[in-house]
Amino acid sequence: MDQLAISDYGFLSDCRSGALVGRDGSIDWWCPDRFDSPSVFGRVLDPEAGHFRLAPTAAGLPGHRVERAYVADTLVLRTVHHTPEGSVAVTDALAAEFGARGHQLGMNSPAVLLRVVEGLAGRVRMSLDFRPRPEYGLLTPYLHGQPDGGVLAAAGPVVLVLHTDGVPPHVDRDRVRQEFEVSAGQVVGFDVAYGQAYGTVPARLEPVAALAETVQAWQAYRESHHYDGRYREQVRHSATVLTGLTYARSGAVAAALTTSLPERIGGDHNYDYRYSWLRDFAMTLRALWVAACPSEASRLFAWAARSIGRVGPDPVPVLFGLEGERDVSEHECAHLRGYGGSLPVRVGNDAWRQRQLDVPGEVLSAVWQLRDHLGEALDTELREMVLGLAEQVAATWHLPDRGIWETRDTDRHYLTSKVLCWVALDRAVRLAPRLGGRADARRWARIRDEIRTTVLRDGWHERTGAYGGAFGSPELDASVLLLPLVGFLPATDPRMRATIEAVESGLGAGEGLVRRWDTDPAGFLPCSFWLVECLVLAGEQGRAEALFERLLGHANDIGLFSEQIDPRTGAQVGNTPQALSHIGLVSAAWRLTDPTTD
């Protein structure tokens, strides 16, 4: 098959899992049990790994044109196909639980994929191709006709039940194929329900009614949040994407929907981002605070505290499974060909074993920012987490680590890691009145000041005239843009201002994009949004606005950002949709609205 561009995919979510649906009408990624479970449709990683296509038979031929948009304030996607014979809309969603409203969204999602076809004009011939391949394409299911006209696909631990409303399914060995016609005003619904092989067969949802219910559930959730700053529509949409990446049962935030979409086509930096990084989790909380969605802070912090457990001398894990699992060991799926031939395809992520000293600072910064929603006295588990993280930082800040970019070579004294250690103790000192008698604010303050002195002395590189990525290193690293954003140095400080200019000129990739380091193959969107914030704080509001506008242009046609942008082609690369990219947008928009925010 011709490989779709990463930007050609739309994102569906039920806050349990998510799916990718292409402009060509094919669902090419769905892990129905939860975000980090095995896929049943995996064509984005291999043409033989399963898909569910529903589109006009004329799709891709001359005269075929596609328009698509999300139903307002939802992750329900409506794709309109215009053909020489007429026009038809296909509306796709992952079903919400019936009656779910507000913050109940996703708590008990039924794991049902909904597809509703609506004739708009003329008479359009449609094609259906349902080809599930569970376990990342390892399993080919048996297909069984059901008394109610549905088709049951069974393989290994998975069953899927396809229902086709008024369209008799044609089973062709290991797939269902069918063609049918839709006239103007006609509506035809399809649904695919997921279940476990040795449980009860999943009950059917009526697609049209379930779709309407899902739209209402999403809109009711968004109506409870009010953001009045600049770039309102983009912020609300990014907040919706972040909600869609949240595993509602626990509150964990998946860093992205996908695994192994490459940083560079044909490259081997292909990692599984379907887990919850504490760094991303903390940044997401702050972004949702900006987007006026702070009401779930206590529950989300409870997930973090329970996942971390009692903090001891060992490094706090960088990431967890969505229900707090620690061991997410990495392995390669040798049978998959990879997106654009990019190998290996990885499941799991061995970064969980790394020491990354910035993580406690991210978490404690989020606790401080959301303190007004957590009560004057923190609950026991949260208090123990804050105390434990502060003590661990006090004991380990001087050690080398793998840094914010999770390098897989050697430990170094990364500057941003040290700065986030400073943040951890600075916020712990401020939180001390809420932490009880074991808070050692005086000692934390002394170590905090020692860290600051060390960073200012050892982080500056005279030859380059900038703060380097690691102590003693002349190599630029865009993560140093965080220094003004966390309050370590003002952006107007002469050395910090020189560093911002050095990063912008030395790591700039055109069109406002910033690479993480000089060998990075693509512009990294979170860093690019950090530069917007730094320019605002440096008093360059006009230049910051112009940069922000250019970055908005890198979203796809439905407002989604992947991880990176190839500066040569402008193509999106990396896993998608990427939480950090949307977090960066929200934070930069708010900084443009209120430069005084902390």
Q: What is the mean pLDDT of residues 435-451?
A: 97
Residue 295: the pLDDT is 65
> What is the full DSSP assignment across 103-130?
GGTTTT---EEEEEEEEEEEEEEEEEEE
Read off the tokens for 103. Answer: 């913050």
Return d(Cα 217, Cα 221) in angstroms, integer: 6
Residue 598: the pLDDT is 67
Q: What is the dihedral of CA 48, 52, 54, 55, to 10 degrees?
A: -30
Q: Tell me what the pLDDT averaged over the chain comes to.
A: 94
pLDDT over 60 (residue 1) = no
Q: What is the mean pLDDT of residues 491-516?
A: 96
Confidence of residue 89 (pLDDT cuts 50, 70, 90): very high
CB burial of residue 220 (10 Å; 0-12, 13-18, 19+): middle
How far is the CA of 579 from the CAs of 37, 361, 402, 477, 593, in angstroms? 18, 19, 21, 21, 21
**Cβ(417)–Cβ(404) under 8 Å?**
yes
In a domain, 259, yes or no: no
Return d(Cα 446, Cα 441) in angstroms, integer: 9
pLDDT over 70 (residue 289) = yes
**Cβ(28)–Cβ(20) under 8 Å?**
yes
Q: What is the pLDDT of residues 231-261, one digit of tens each?
A: 999 999 999 999 999 999 998 999 999 999 9
Lowest-confidence region among 73-87, 219-233, 340-354, 478-492: 219-233
3-state helix, strand, coil in the chain (%, to 5): 35, 20, 45
Nearest Cα to Cα of residue 4 among 21, 134, 19: 21
Sign of CA pseudo-dihedral 228, 229, 232, 238? negative
In a domain, 541, yes or no: no
pLDDT over 60 (residue 558) = yes
Confidence of residue 288 (pLDDT cuts 50, 70, 90): confident
Residue 370: the pLDDT is 87
CATH number at residue 115: 2.70.98.10
Domain range enclosing 59: 6-222
Return d(Cα 272, Cα 279) in angstroms, integer: 16
Q: Domains in the chain: how many in total?
A: 1
Nearest Cα to Cα of residue 12 among 580, 584, 551, 560: 560
Residue 47: the pLDDT is 97
In a domain, 138, yes or no: yes
Return d(Cα 54, Cα 531) in angstroms, integer: 42
Residue 575: the pLDDT is 98
How far is the CA of 236 from the CAs of 104, 291, 331, 530, in angstroms? 19, 7, 36, 19
C-beta neighbour count of 207 within 10 angstroms: 25
Confidence of residue 561 (pLDDT cuts 50, 70, 90): very high
250 φ/ψ angles, rounded to the nearest 5 degrees: -115, -20
Say what the pTM is: 0.96
In a domain, 102, yes or no: yes
Nearest Cα to Cα of residue 448 among 475, 466, 430: 430
pLDDT over 60 (residue 569) = yes
Lowest-confidence region among 201-210, 420-429, 545-554: 201-210
In a domain, 346, yes or no: no
Confidence of residue 102 (pLDDT cuts 50, 70, 90): confident
Residue 296: the pLDDT is 66
Read off the tokens for 388. Answer: 């434990």
Q: What is the pLDDT of residues 158-192, one digit of tens each?
A: 999 999 988 999 999 899 999 999 999 999 999 99
In a domain, 96, yes or no: yes
Residue 511: the pLDDT is 87
Q: What is the mean pLDDT of residues 17-37?
A: 97
In a domain, 86, yes or no: yes
Confidence of residue 344 (pLDDT cuts 50, 70, 90): very high
Return d(Cα 457, Cα 55) in angstroms, integer: 61
Residue 103: the pLDDT is 72
In a domain, 471, yes or no: no
